[in-house]
Amino acid sequence: MTIMTNATDAFPHFSQRRAVRIVFASTSGHTEYVVDALTDSLKSITPGWEIEATRAEKMKPQDLLSGDVLLLASSTWNTGSVEGQLNPHMWVLLHDDKAKTLDLAGKPCACIGLGDHRYFYTARATDHLEHYVRVHHGRLIVPTLKITDEPYRQEEAVRVWGRQLVDASKQIDRC
């Protein structure tokens, strides 16, 4: 007779269950396309995980604390004629008074930035997102994914990066 000690013995993948909170800003839909491709990929390889993607303009700063893993994704803009800025929606979210004082307290984080090679400061959103995570005491668990130019036909890079993210997320100590 087999005695099961707990539910995770019966369903091993539940013991590594994670909630991944994706926050993205997208204007023409490129970042959204990448986030959709990533979400589909994550869902297919991590049944039981909670993968939730939300637009930055629908988020409150304190929502950044929810979930086990925080993923920030943004395109790059030339707001005010200055190249290499965050997408305005992500900028507004991360520069809100509450976001400015948010303590990510070691939260596992990852970043995705998009841009276009025709700009001198190509895909600088990556730098801004990483900077936010570091300054607010988040922990980058995988190298940032940079997507230059249209994301169509770059799905394989997204899928491979997603696999890296899953592997790194499984290493997270759960309290």
Distances, alpha carbon 100 to alpha carbons 62, 66, 80, in Å? 11, 17, 21
**How many positions of this chain bind ligand FMN (CB under 6 A)?**
21
- Contacts for 114 with CB less than 8 Å, ≥ 6 apart: 30, 31, 34, 73, 74, 75, 76, 123, 125, 146, 147, 148, 151
Task: Name the minimum Å distance from CB 100 to ligand FMN.
Answer: 23
Told to check if 75 binds ligand FMN by CB under 6 A, we report yes
Stretch that binds ligand FMN, among 4-12, 94-102, 116-124, 134-142 (CB under 6 A): 116-124
* Residue 26 token pair: 């997208």
* Residue 82 token pair: 């200055």
User: From CA 50, how far away is CA 19, in angstroms rounded?
Assistant: 4
Question: Going along the chain, which residue ranges are E strands?
Answer: 19-25, 50-55, 69-77, 85-86, 108-115, 139-140, 145-148
Told to check if 36 binds ligand FMN by CB under 6 A, we report no
Report the chain's C-alpha Rg in angstroms. Answer: 17
Q: Which residue among 67, 115, 138, 162 contacts ligand FMN (CB under 6 A)?
A: 115
Stretch that binds ligand FMN, among 10-18, 51-59, 70-78, 94-102 (CB under 6 A): 70-78
Query: 15 vs 78, which CB is nearer to ligand FMN?
Result: 78
Task: Name the minimum Å distance from CB 57 to ligand FMN.
Answer: 13
Task: Name the minimum Å distance from CB 120 to ligand FMN.
Answer: 8
Task: Name the minimum Å distance from CB 163 to ligand FMN.
Answer: 23
Query: 75 vs 169, which CB is nearer to ligand FMN?
Result: 75
Alpha-helical regions (H) of 2-154: 7-10, 30-45, 88-95, 97-100, 125-135
Told to check if 26 binds ligand FMN by CB under 6 A, we report yes
Write out the residues near ligand FMN by the rule CB under 6 A: 26-32, 75-78, 83-84, 87, 114-116, 119, 121-123
